[in-house]
Amino acid sequence: MSPGFLKHAKRSDSRPAESFFGYLTGFLGYFTSAVEIPVQKLGESMVLAGLKQLKEKSNKTIFVSNKEALNLN
């Protein structure tokens, strides 16, 4: 997976540039799903993609876009 900006990431330290970028990607997120993804949704999609590979007994690398990860159920 190659996620965009990790939305709702909990950090122990202050990251002003990341905070600014979060506002920017939040705005851009109204127009495209390619710029950010909530951390929880990213984790869920990684687990689902892994389970799919186990079910198919596949060792190949798969790539999942933000849009695909947001739509995985």
Confidence of residue 4 (pLDDT cuts 50, 70, 90): low
The predicted-structure confidence for 6-62, as pLDDT tens digits, reads as follows: 676 666 776 777 777 877 877 887 887 777 888 888 888 888 888 888 888 888 777
**Closest listed residue to residue 65, CA positions, set 47, 50, 45:** 45
Q: What count of other Cβ atoms lies within 10 Å of the Cβ of residue 53?
A: 14
pLDDT at 1 over 70: no
Q: How many Å separate Cα 11 from the centre of its chain?
A: 16
Contact 35, 7 (CB under 8 A): no
Residue type, 10: K
Secondary-structure percent of the chain, ordered helix, strand, coil, rounded to 5 = 50, 10, 40
Domain boundaries, the chain: 5-71
